[in-house]
Structure 1
Amino acid sequence: MSADELCGGAFRYASADLEKIMGGEKEFLSDSSDYLDTSVELVERTREEGATRSRGRAQSKCNVGVRARSAYVVTRYYAPADLADRGNVRGGVHYDLGLHATSGFDTAKIYFECVSPNLDGSVKDPARIMIDLGYRLSEGNDRLSEGKGAGTLRETYMRLAHSAALSVARELECEGDGGLPERLILKRIN
């Protein structure tokens, strides 16, 4: 499966970045071609239940792999308190993107809100969506450490998380793409 097709097309806006972190590979294995559909279902179900966040371990997840490298992307519905207590990402850098965006040595997270005609009551109470992208090498060194290339990889992870977030926002038909730009310009804020 090509990078553009993975996870229901979640990486279509950054497919070259996915190929880059996966060692230049062009074909991948994935366990979920319906990631975008299940992300929409998760948001709709959480709102229908009147819950403030996705319950327990409820999430939409897609795993991607090739040889000794793997990545995942997860969609969760977060509670307002989760944004205030978003924790630290190891080696994290914050970006001016969505409500909060952080990228570190092996993960990138984007929090954004969605007002959509498909989500009842979202004008007064926007859907709260968090995208979590993770990356792992399985051959000994499983994480990036501070040093040469760390900033470039952080930005690559953020572009991949942005692609997934923008894809989810568009699938939900969020007004203004949930505040996510179509053309990403990364601006550090710390």
Structure 2
Amino acid sequence: MNQSAFDSLSARPDFRTIARWIEPRAKVLDLGCGDGSLLSLLSEELECTGYGIEINDAGVLASVKNGINVIQQNLEDGLRLFEDASFDFAILSQTLQTIHQTAAILRETARVGKECIVSFPNFGYWPHRLSVLRGRMPVSKSLPYQWHNTPNVRVLTVKDFEALAPEVGIEILDRAVLHGGQTVRWGVNWRGSLAVYRVRKK
């Protein structure tokens, strides 16, 4: 594993869960791929192939430098480039909360991927709730930005996602709720800071 992929695996606990759910040699689409670290990891560890989609110039350049096939595109414009079920897995890794058209993108993700993996910071995590009660927007490891410079345009909880899933026609296959890289087994909506779901179109 190259140093970039190793560093990302250490820094992003959702990557471990995602890699566990991905099948070897799968064709993967990473939506909001950043610098391509996840695809690089999946390529090296599981011999996966695929594409990343990224809007940010720096992310596109970093992905290219990491040897990732990347398409520069705004996810809000949809995924018309891709046919139905054209990827084994489509991934929204900590991207969902940065999108305005949440329901539409979830539907599109489930359309192009035979299975999908979605991860997001859980706004229901108890220190986040406490911060709001104290009158301030939360800042934490999973929500590291101040309110005025955050890329996040949506905040959601574990329960919010699970209520939305059937409305947009997706079925939840598996779930991992994490904090500090460890799986949270009970009280997930207030004890977990990061949620990861494996889903598919109904």
Answer whether TM exceeds 0.5 for this pair: no
Larger helix proportion of the pair: 2
Q: TM-score, normalised by structure 1?
A: 0.30
